[in-house]
């Protein structure tokens, strides 16, 4: 893990020098910055769930970005869900995921709205717990699931524009 040091983006007196160091991976991507695995927003999420049901809140799991002609552009809204090891991913399993996103919850509708506002598409990404397999579903086109190995999925992500 590498550190990008001495980024002088802000000059706030309460910030320590290490606050501006950025960890990056060997490929140059931003690495996970925290040492713990605590879900720091959980207290807020739990609190919000107790509020009036008319106060709707959902999260977007990920937004995939690219620099295109020097401009930062969203190229995909990603709703991510995991399948544990030992679980057989069948057509029924995949259909249940679609039902959950489309019917039970409003995740699909919210993801499509966010995607539309950012002029991009929304996807469900199902991944095997060890990232050995991936399945993708295009929420905008309501297009069938595609299965990918890790290299194929990386290539599919690279094609997003």
Residue 26 pLDDT > 60 = yes
- The set of residues, in sequence order, having a beta carbon less than 8 Å from that of 82 and lying 6+ positions away, is 126, 127, 128, 129
Task: Write down the pLDDT at residue 21.
Answer: 75
- Report whether 81 contacts 97 (CB < 8 A): yes
How many other β-carbons are positioned within 10 Å of the β-carbon of residue 141?
10
Beta-strand ranges (E) seen in 2-155 are 2-4, 22-24, 62-68, 71-83, 122-128, 134-138, 143-148
Residue 78 pLDDT > 90 = yes
Q: Go through the domains of the chain in sequence order and give each one's CATH number.
A: 1-36 (no CATH), 52-161 (3.10.310)
Q: Residue 88 corresponds to which tokens in the numbers above?
A: 């057989």
């Amino acid at each position: 893990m590498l550190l990008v040091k001495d980024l002088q983006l802000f000059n706030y007196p309460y910030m320590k020098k290490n606050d501006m160091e950025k960890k990056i991976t060997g490929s140059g991507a931003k690495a996970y910055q925290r040492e713990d695995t605590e879900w720091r927003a959980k207290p807020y999420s739990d609190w919000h769930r107790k509020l009036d049901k008319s106060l709707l809140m959902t999260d977007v799991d990920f937004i995939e970005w690219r620099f295109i002609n020097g401009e930062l552009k969203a190229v995909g809204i990603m709703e991510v869900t995991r399948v544990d090891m030992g679980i057989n991913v069948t057509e029924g399993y995949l259909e249940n995921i679609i039902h959950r996103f489309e019917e039970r919850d409003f995740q699909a509708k919210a993801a499509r709205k966010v995607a539309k506002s950012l002029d991009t598409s929304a996807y469900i990404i199902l991944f095997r717990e060890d990232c050995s397999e991936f399945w993708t579903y295009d929420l905008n086109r309501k297009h069938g699931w595609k299965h990918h190995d890790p290299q194929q999925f990386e290539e599919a992500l690279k094609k997003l524009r």
